[in-house]
A = this chain, B = another copy of it.
Amino acid sequence: MMKVVALAGGVGGARLVDGLAQCLPPEDLTVIVNTGDDFEHLGLHISPDLDTVCYTLGGIANPPTGWGRAHESWRMLESLAELGGPTWFRIGDRDLATHLERTRRLCSGEALSKITQEFCCAWGVLPLVLPASDQPVPTWVSTDQGEMHFQEYFVKRQCQPRVQGFRFAGVEAAEPAPGVLSALLSCDLVVICPSNPWVSIAPILAVPGIRAAVAAKPTLAVSPLIAGKAVKGPAAKMYREFGQPASALSVASHYGDLLAGFVLDRLDARLAPEVEAMGIRPLVVNTLMKTRASRRRLAREILDFAERFVLTGN
Contacts and interface: CB of A to CB of B under 8 A. Distances in A.
B107 A80 contact: no
Contacts of A83: 97-98, 101, 118-119, 122
Contacts of A211: none
Nearest to A95: B79
Contacts of A43: 43-44, 100, 103-104, 107
A231 B100 CA distance: 34
A177 to B, nearest CB: 19
A171 to B, nearest CB: 26
A118 B76 contact: no
A94 interface: yes
Contact of A82 (B85, B86, B122): B122
Contact of A75 (B42, B44, B73): B73
A101 B44 CA distance: 11
A123 interface: yes
Interface residues of A, number: 33
Contacts of A72: 75
A77 interface: yes
Given A43-B107, A83-B119, A75 B94 contact: yes
Contact of A118 (B75, B80, B84): B84
Interface string A91-125: 01111111011011001000000000011001100
A257 interface: no
Contacts of A100: 42-44, 76, 80, 85
Contacts of A274: none
A43 B77 CA distance: 18
A241 interface: no
A78 interface: yes
26 contacts: A42-B101, A42-B103, A43-B44, A43-B100, A43-B103, A72-B75, A73-B73, A73-B75, A75-B92, A75-B93, A76-B76, A76-B93, A76-B97, A76-B100, A79-B93, A79-B98, A80-B97, A80-B100, A80-B101, A83-B98, A83-B101, A83-B118, A84-B122, A85-B97, A85-B100, A85-B104
The 4 closest A-B CB pairs, nearest first, are: A79-B97, A75-B93, A80-B97, A85-B101
Given A75-B93, A84-B118, 6 more contacts: A43-B103, A75-B75, A77-B97, A78-B97, A85-B104, A93-B96
